[in-house]
């Protein structure tokens, strides 16, 4: 008799699985042994998948037994409504709710409702860790992050979108529920291709805003389902779930010499928008404005800019002025990024200067202000950045938009302001 010894994250005492294992042992002479007390239901298909072709047997997926969960999850009324609408839509669809309103709780509720083997896809490693902490705390099961050294998958697996292709192409048929956090990433060509391998009957998308500059929201709806529930930022503020927003524009004047240089860049035959934005963002006046804001608010803040060089220069400037701050960009190693975020959380530093890498994937409740050095018309980017300060640990979240008069930044600001007003229209 061939014996397959399984040492991690295995299975199951449900009757269906017991019968399946007995059938396999009788028909193929394969014995499945579970070592220690690692009993997690529903993982059997992952264990024996690599033996399936050789021994030519099939394993029917089963539900995760209820006793596996040690749930302490409690939902607010609007979260219950959201999951109810998702269930009515055949357990498919997208839920749009602002940062701080509890989208992760809705995802965990979907896992409890379906009791299905689950793949959770997120855009960044910090979000992988956040989901693992939340599920371990509220459901009593520790999910498995992927990739990992042993190449294991679990009954609940959490992975970044850039790993989705390698998982779904080989094992897409083994997951019954797929949760796409920050689902607005799905229309990206690589991620959409990966989801084409997904065979999960249940699909949930979560995001603060589905809008994209390339107008490809329909691709997310094609793979995940239509929008089944929407709550705008205004309603969340009105309910007192998150902090109120105080949005202020800080107007600056370019010196005459610099204004002339700006217009020379704008009027070039081959205009370079990146060069223009870099010129404005890197100006010393913006750094001074950031310093003055930080001295006034006397609290934790995140400063956003599009450019790594500008972020580094701003951090160095602030440090010279006595501000304890860190610097995070897309190439910052994961461990170093975790250390910087931990320092902000425990008060060793009070400010992080960041590129768009922190638009998503951080959860620091006591951030008092968000400072925008870069101009963007995107409502999605604006809402995500505002969301960094929305957690309900203070009555007001401050958002400061630093702008140069007589430049394109003013037009972009009015577009942002108009879009934000529509998002807040239920206030």
Question: pLDDT per residue over 225-284, tens digit each?
Answer: 999 999 887 787 788 777 777 888 899 999 999 999 999 988 887 778 888 889 999 999
| Cα–Cα dist 202/167, whole Å | 17
One domain, residues 222 and 245: no
Lowest mean pLDDT among 15-19, 123-127, 240-244: 15-19
81-95, 133-147, 277-291: range with lowest mean pLDDT: 133-147
Gap between the Cα atoms of 370 and 351, Å rounded: 10
Residue 363 and residue 383 in one domain = yes
Q: What's the number of domains the chain is made of? A: 3
Q: What is the mean pLDDT of the chain?
A: 78
* pLDDT average, residue stretch 206-211: 84
Among 23-27, 94-98, 110-114, 225-229, the least confident range: 23-27
Of 426 and 141, the one with more pLDDT: 141
Whether 211 and 308 map to the same domain: the answer is no
Domain finish residue from 179, 203, 231: 231
Which of 231, 266, 294 is where one domain is finished? 231
Pairs from 195-198 (Cβ < 8 Å, separation ≥ 24): 195/164, 195/168, 195/223, 196/223, 197/165, 197/168, 197/169, 197/172, 198/168, 198/172, 198/223
Residues 274 and 398 in one domain: yes
Q: How confident is the model at residue 425 (pLDDT cuts 50, 70, 90)?
A: low
Local confidence band at 380 (pLDDT 50, 70, 90 cut-offs): confident
Mean pLDDT of 354-365: 74
pLDDT attached to residue 228: 95
Q: Is the pLDDT of residue 142 over 60?
A: yes
Give the end of a domain, one of 61, 82, 108: 61
Look up the domain containing 163 and give its range.
69-231
The answer to whether the beta carbons of residues 64 and 116 sit under 8 Å apart is yes
- What pLDDT does 177 receive? 92
What mean pLDDT comes out for the span 177-201?
Answer: 85
Q: Please tell me the number of Cα atoms within 13 Å of 156 on its side-chain side.
A: 24
CATH number at residue 259: 3.40.50.300
- Asked if residue 283 and residue 205 are part of one domain, the reply reads no
What's the confidence (pLDDT) of residue 394? 62
pLDDT of the residue at 351: 92
Question: Do 254 and 400 have their domain in common?
Answer: yes
């Amino acid at each position: 008799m061939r014996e397959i010894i399984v040492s991690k994250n295995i299975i199951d005492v449900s009757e269906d699985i017991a019968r399946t294992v007995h059938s396999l042992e009788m028909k193929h002479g394969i014995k499945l042994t579970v070592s220690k007390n690692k009993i997690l239901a529903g993982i059997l298909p992952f264990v024996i998948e690599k033996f399936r072709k050789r021994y030519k047997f099939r394993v029917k997926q089963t539900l995760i037994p209820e006793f596996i969960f040690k749930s302490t999850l409690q939902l607010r009324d609007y979260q219950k409504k959201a999951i109810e609408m998702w269930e009515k839509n055949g357990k498919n669809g997208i839920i749009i709710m602002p940062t701080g309103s509890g989208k992760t709780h809705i995802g965990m509720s979907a896992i409890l409702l379906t009791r299905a083997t689950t793949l959770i896809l997120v855009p960044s490693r910090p979000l992988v860790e956040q989901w693992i902490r939340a599920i371990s705390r509220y459901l009593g099961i520790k999910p498995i992050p992927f990739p990992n050294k042993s190449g294991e998958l679990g009954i609940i697996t959490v992975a970044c979108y850039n790993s989705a292709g390698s998982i779904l192409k080989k094992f897409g048929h083994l997951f019954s529920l797929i949760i796409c956090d920050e689902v607005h990433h799905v229309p990206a060509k690589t991620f959409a291709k990966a989801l084409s391998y997904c065979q999960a009957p249940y699909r949930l998308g979560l995001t603060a805003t589905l809008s994209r500059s390339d107008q490809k929201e329909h691709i997310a709806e094609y793979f995940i389902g239509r929008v089944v529930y929407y709550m705008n930022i205004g309603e969340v503020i009105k309910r007192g779930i998150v902090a109120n927003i105080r949005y202020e524009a800080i107007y600056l004047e370019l010196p005459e010499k610099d204004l002339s240089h700006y217009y020379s860049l704008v009027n070039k035959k081959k205009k370079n928008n990146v060069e223009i934005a870099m010129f404005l963002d890197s100006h010393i006046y913006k750094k001074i404005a950031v310093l003055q804001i930080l001295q006034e608010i006397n609290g934790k803040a995140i400063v956003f800019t599009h450019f790594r060089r500008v972020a580094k220069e701003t951090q160095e400037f602030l440090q010279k002025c006595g501000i304890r701050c860190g610097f995070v960009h897309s190439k910052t190693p994961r461990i170093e990024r975790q250390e910087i975020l931990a320092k902000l959380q425990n008060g060793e530093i009070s400010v992080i200067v960041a590129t768009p890498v922190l638009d998503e994937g951080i959860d620091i409740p006591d951030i008092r202000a968000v400072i925008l050095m870069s101009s963007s018309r995107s409502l999605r980017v604006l809402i995500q950045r505002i969301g960094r300060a929305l957690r309900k640990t203070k009555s007001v979240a401050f958002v400061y938009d630093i702008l140069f008069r007589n430049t394109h930044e003013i037009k972009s600001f009015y577009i942002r302001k108009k879009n934000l007003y529509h998002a807040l229209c239920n206030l």
